[in-house]
């Protein structure tokens, strides 16, 4: 058969265009920063060494082993990997220094209880007027702040903005390593997206889902951890102008909290951070509803 040059050229161009416009499942990998010769990427836990951040297929199970290595398994996706212990990652463990949260409602669970399930709808705010290099992370989440288990673990479905909206499950940071599932896109302002963290005897599940039901999840070995603190938060990086924030509200609604005894809890949220820049404020509307405002005077 004769080759039709112009046809294959056209095909090639279409292919290139597809590659260029396809959204990366892991946007942080599109913005690698070199600092002192090392590659860093932005995460909800600050800038992390690229080699300590692991992108895994949705549904992957993360299992810590005693020697500091981590097993990743996902039978459905035919994926298995062993992440070697890394002293470099352990040394830079970001859970030792978390300081970029600006708007936050938090609650310590009642004594002698731990979390079984925490779920919420996230009302997606307006897209920021300006897109510079800002990173916005909205999430509900939980931590074992009681010292149980081998180390602090952060579990969170994170609605993110970096040049666009996406939703992704994160776990930080067994042995200094962070894990994330592929981003879910098709998220637009004023959607209700769904996030949950669920803990049973052996595992933790972190689920991010858009309004079309597209999901991305991780499971993590519980490893003796009692999740004793929950939060609903906005965390930001490299804001250069108030217009880098959405104008108006973002809302966590219909929040349900179930304790290990299967009792539904009524959270008593506290706002320990107070007002933030660009007219930022958190409003605890009721135990199931928290709104975060920027760039508006509404009470
Ligand atoms: C929690 O458990 C400890 C140890 O079992 C017990 O001493 C304490 O009274 C309990 N606290 C509450 C509030 O139930
Ligand atoms: C919380 O529970 C109520 C009552 O069961 C339910 O209608 C609501 O959808 C739940 N919230 C979420 C985020 O699923
Ligand atoms: C975790 O919680 C369970 C049940 O409430 C309790 O029996 C256990 O002692 C707790 N573990 C730690 C390390 O606090
Ligand atoms: C605990 O949750 C994991 C992951 O969501 C699931 O695979 C496992 O079957 C659950 N175990 C129990 C005892 O329910
Ligand atoms: C912030 O953005 C607004 C609107 O785009 C622009 O008019 C203003 O000059 C910017 N301010 C700074 C300090 O960059």
Low-confidence ranges of the chain (pLDDT < 50): 1-3, 5, 9, 12-21
Read off the pLDDT of residues 221-280 as tens digits, 9 standing for 90 and up.
999 999 999 999 999 999 999 999 999 999 999 999 999 989 999 999 999 888 999 999
Q: Which is it for strands 60-64 and 215-221: parallel, antiparallel or unpaired?
A: parallel
> Nearest ligand, CA of residue 219?
4
Tell me, in angstroms, the distance from the centre of ligand 2 to residue 17's CA. Answer: 42
Residue range 47-64, pLDDT digits in tens: 999 999 999 999 999 999
Q: What is the distance in A from the centroid of ligand 2 to the CA of 125?
A: 21
Q: Which two tokens stand for residue 73?
A: 């398994």
What number does CATH give the domain 56-294? Answer: 2.60.120.1270
Q: Can you give the pLDDT at residue 2? A: 43
Cis peptide bond prior to 46, omega within 30° of 0: no
Of 14, 295, 244, 1, nearest to 129 (Cα)? 244
Q: How far apart (Å, rounded) are the C-alpha atoms in residues 289 and 140? A: 12
**What residue owns the CA closest to ligand 5's atom 1?**
241
Instruction: Choose one of 110, 113, 142, 148 to mutate for the ligand 3 pocket test, by most ligand atoms within 8 angstroms of C-beta.
Output: 148
């Amino acid at each position: 058969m004769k080759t039709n040059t112009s046809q294959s050229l056209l095909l090639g161009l279409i292919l290139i265009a597809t590659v260029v416009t396809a959204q990366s499942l892991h946007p942080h990998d599109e913005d690698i920063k070199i600092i002192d010769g090392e590659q860093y990427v932005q995460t909800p836990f600050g800038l992390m060494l690229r080699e300590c951040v692991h992108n895994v297929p949705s549904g992957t199970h993360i299992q810590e082993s005693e020697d500091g290595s981590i097993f990743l398994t996902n039978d459905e996706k035919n994926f298995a990997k062993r992440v070697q212990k890394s002293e470099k990652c352990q040394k830079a463990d970001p859970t030792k220094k978390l300081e970029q949260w600006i708007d936050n409602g938090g609650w310590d669970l009642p004594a002698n209880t731990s979390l079984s399930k925490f779920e919420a709808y996230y009302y997606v705010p307006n897209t920021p007027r300006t897109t510079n290099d800002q990173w916005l992370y909205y999430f509900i989440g939980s931590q074992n702040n009681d010292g149980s288990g081998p180390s602090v673990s952060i579990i969170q479905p994170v609605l993110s903005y970096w040049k666009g909206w996406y939703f992704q499950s994160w776990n930080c940071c067994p042995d200094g390593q962070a894990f994330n599932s592929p981003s879910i896109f098709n998220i637009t302002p004023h959607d209700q997206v769904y996030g949950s963290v669920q803990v049973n005897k052996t595992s933790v599940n972190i689920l991010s889902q858009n309004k079309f039901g597209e999901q991305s999840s991780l499971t993590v070995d519980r490893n003796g951890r009692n999740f004793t603190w929950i939060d609903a938060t906005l965390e930001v990086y490299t804001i250069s102008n108030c217009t880098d924030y959405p104008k108006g509200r973002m809302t966590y609604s219909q929040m349900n909290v179930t304790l290990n005894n299967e009792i539904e809890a009524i959270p008593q949220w506290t706002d320990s951070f107070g007002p933030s820049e660009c007219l930022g404020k958190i409003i605890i509307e009721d135990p199931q509803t928290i709104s975060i405002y920027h760039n508006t005077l509404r009470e």
